[in-house]
Amino acid sequence: MGCAILSSQQHERMVFMKAFDKIIGYASLKQELMQISDTLKNRQFYDKLGVSAPRGLLLYGEPGVGKSLMASAVIEESGRPVFRCRKDEPNGDFVKKIKATFEKAAENAPSIVFLDDMDKFANGDEKHPDAEEYVTVQSCIDEIKGKEVFVLATANDTDCLPESLLRAGRFDRTIEVGLPMGEDAIEIVAYYLKSKRFVEGIDPVVIAKNHDRALLRRPGDRSQRGRFVRRVPAGGVHHHGARFESLPAHRF
């Protein structure tokens, strides 16, 4: 769906998705997220086209790149009730909370389960593929299959998550939100400078280029300079290089 040509009806609906105006730049990524929101909100339209509803989306990347803001925009424009789950309780109670969240979402379908900072569900920063929290999430996702419950999650580091949780069928879309570069960085800098009276005459292009050079000098940058990866059910894993027009972060 991310590469599909928009119909006039889809384009007209997306023009009015004002929640995405909060995300500065990154037109390519925003269009993809808008399409997901539109697919969730207008099921009759897509059912007639033979387009099945997406089951899940995982946004991951370094802290502060705007994953939560993007997730909030998807939720708001989908028009669905959302049931949030974030690690804020002891392990035993938290497992119960995960189950209760999915149960409420199923009772109120069509709905969204939002798993915020999912890589923090199990204690520690190392990989815990057999952690009870992740086993519970997987089980709950499998149980809601066919119940019009969309699972939306954010994570800083997918290396902490079990591969079985990330497979297509649980999260059929996985998007890395990288750090802004190029035109995205310029647009972000210009946006914040315009509200500062004391910065007249400062060129946002100069600031953005310095920012780009700093990122390029970072050794072993896990963000791969803004590349994002989609996993889709049809068996393809599509890699998009670091092109200025499609970098998927939105703030510093």
Instruction: Write down the pLDDT at residue 1.
Output: 46
Residue 172 near residue 219, CB atoms below 8 Å: no
Show the low-confidence residues of the chain (pLDDT under 70): 1-12, 14-16, 123-129, 197-201, 203-204, 206-252
Residue 100 near residue 214, CB atoms below 8 Å: no
Provide CATH code, domain 8-177+229-246.
3.40.50.300
Instruction: Write down the pLDDT at residue 133.
Output: 93
Instruction: Write down the pLDDT at residue 57.
Output: 96
Residue 248 near residue 23, CB atoms below 8 Å: no
Instruction: Write down the pLDDT at residue 91.
Output: 72
pTM: 0.76
User: Quick check: bond before 110 cis, omega within 30?
Assistant: yes
Instruction: Write down the pLDDT at residue 232.
Output: 35
Instruction: Write down the pLDDT at residue 25.
Output: 81
Helix (H, G, I), strand (E, B) or coil at 111: strand
